[in-house]
Amino acid sequence: VNNQKNHSSANQEITQSVKRTYLKPRIESVEMRPTEALLGACKTSSSAGPASPSCSTLSCSSLGS
Amino acid sequence: MMPMNAASALAGPENPSSPTRTLCLGGLTIRLIGSGASAPLIEPISQRFLVDSEVTPTITLEVGEGDPAEFEKLASQKPFFDSGGTWKLYREDKTLVYAVTVPIFGDIPYRFLEVANDFSTGRLLINPKAGVPEHCLFPLAFPLDELLVANLLTLPGNEGVLLHACAVTDPDGNAYVFVGQSGDGKSTTARIWAAREGMTILTDERVIIRRHEDGFFVHGTPWHGDQLAAVPGRARISGIFILRKAPANSVTETRPSLASALLFARSFPPLHNPESLAATAAFLESLVTNVPCRELHFLPDSSVVDFVRGLYAA
C-alpha cells in the first residue's frame, strides 16, 4: 500500500510539472464549399481550366480551379 | 436494377473473350470489362493510368449499354442523395447507383454506375437512347471516376483521401502537397514549380493521399487542371501546405486539429455516408499527426520555390 501511495504521489508531481497553461476553448470555423466537395459542379466553357473531350461537349468538368 | 450476382457473373474474369481495361488510381485497381468485342473507352489522359490486367482488381465493373427502361426507372425514383449538380445517388437493397444527368441529353440519366454495397463489383452503363456522341462515350468519366475512387479510399484497409491539391516532387527526392480550394493558387503553384528544372508535377488539381506500409504517399491522378499535369506516379510526402496568397512568403504552424479540419474542407469524402466521413476524419487526423502540415502564405512568383525547398535543406 505504501508503495502505491508513493507511486501516486510521484505521479501527481509529474503531472503538476508538465501541466500546461489553461486556454479557454474557442470555436474556429472552417469554410466548406459544397459545390466543390460534392463533385457535382458543372463548369461551363467560360470557366477556367481545359476540358476533356467529353467535357467540352457536355459543358461539364471537374477541371481547373 | 440487375441483381449483383448476375452482374458479377457477366463481369467476372472467367470470360476470357471479354475485352478488359484496368486502371490503377492511387494504388486501387479498377477493372472494366466490355461487352461484346469492344473494349471500354478510356479518356486519353486516363489511359496513362492503365496497368496490366493481370493484377488483382479492387473492383470489377461490367461496362456497356444498358436497358433504357432502367434509366427511365431511375428518373422516376426519389434519390437517396442529390448532389445538386450532375449526379444523384439511388440506394437499392444491395447496391448503390450513381446516375449522371446533363441537360444536353435530357432529364433522363445518360449513364450510371451501380456498385455492390461492398464495392467489389458493379456495372457501368450508358443509356443508348440518350444519343451520346461517340467521342463522349467514356463511361467512367467525371464525376463517376472520382466518386468511385472517393468511396474506395474510405473502405477498411484502403486508408486514403482524395484532396483538392497539386503535388510536386523535386530533384532532392522531396514531395510537397499544396492544398487549396478553387482560387487558392494550385494552378499558379504548378506553373511556377514546373518552370524549374527537375520538378515533376504529379497533378495540378486532385491528388490521392494514402498510407502504405512504409508511410504516407501522394499519388498523381488523371484529374488535372490548367497545367494538364497527370502523372501516374507516387512519392513519399515530405510536407503538406495549405495555400494562402500573400504579399510575402512565410509558413505558420497549424495545430493538428485545425489542420485536419482545413484538409477535410478541401477533400472529397462521400458526404452521404457517415462511416465514410468517420474514416476520412480519422485518416486526416493520422495524416497531420505523422506528416508536417502548415499554412503556406505565398507570393505567386518563383521565390516560393526556393522558400519551400529551403525549409527542407539539410
Q: What is the pLDDT of residues B23-43, one digit of tens each?
A: 999 999 999 999 877 789 999
Interface touch A62/B205, C-beta < 8 Å: yes
Whole-angstrom distance, CA of residue B26 vs CA of residue B167: 13
Chain A residues near residue B276 by CB distance under 8 angstroms? none
pLDDT at B189: 97
CB of A56 less than 8 A from some CB of B: no
Please tell me which of the candidates B133, B182, B261 has its beta carbon nearest to residue A30: B261
pLDDT at A9: 54
Q: Looking at the complex, report in whole angstroms how far the Cα of residue B222 sits from the nearest Cα belonging to chain A.
A: 10
pLDDT in tens, B140-173: 999 999 999 999 999 999 999 999 999 999 999 9
Nearest to B262 among A30, A33, A37 (CB): A30
Query: Which cell numbers in the block locate residue B165?
Result: 491539391
Contact criterion met (CB < 8 Å) for A37 and B265: yes
Q: Could you tell me the pTM of the whole model?
A: 0.86
With contacts defined as CB-CB under 8 Å, which chain A residues touch B147? Answer: 39
The pairing of beta strand B239-245 with beta strand B293-298: parallel
Q: What is the mean pLDDT of chain A?
A: 60
Optimal mutation site among A35, A43, A54, interface B, most CBs of chain B within 10 A:
A54
Q: Report the amino acid identity of residue B80.
A: F
Q: Which of residues 263-302 of B touch A (CB under 8 A)?
A: 264-265, 267-269, 271
Q: CA torsion angle for B63, B88, B156, B277 (degrees, to 10)? A: 160
**Predicted local confidence at residue A1, as pLDDT:** 40
B75 CB contacts (<8 Å, ≥6 apart)? B101, B107, B108, B109
Quick one: pLDDT at residue A58? Answer: 54
What distances in angstroms separate CA B302 from CA B154, B179, B192, B193, B248, one per listed residue?
36, 18, 6, 7, 12
pLDDT at residue B65, rounded to an integer: 93
C-alpha cell of residue B242: 495549405
Q: Which three cell numbers stand for residue B290?
A: 505523422
Residues in chain B within 8 Å Cβ distance of A40? 83-87, 143
Contact between B182 and A31 using a beta-carbon 8 Å cutoff: no
Cell of B80: 437517396
B89 pLDDT above the threshold of 70? yes
**pLDDT score recorded for residue A17:** 65
Minimal CA separation from B165 to chain A, in Å:
10
Residue B143, preceding peptide bond in cis (omega within 30° of 0): yes
The reply to whether B134 touches chain A by the CB within 8 Å rule is no
Does B84 score more than 70 pLDDT? yes
| Confidence check: pLDDT of A7 > 60 | no
> Do the chains contact at B261 and A62, CB–CB below 8 Å?
no
Chain A with chain B: Cβ pairs closer than 8 A: 116
Q: What percent of chain B has pLDDT over 70?
A: 94
pLDDT of B44 higher than 70: yes
Q: How far apart are CA B83 and CA B74, in angstroms?
A: 15
Tell me, what's the pLDDT at A41?
62
Chain segment B176-210, per-residue pLDDT in tens: 999 999 999 999 999 999 999 999 999 999 999 99
All residues of chain B having their beta carbon less than 8 Å from the beta carbon of residue A63 are 205, 223-226
* Biggest alpha carbon–alpha carbon distance for chain B: 64
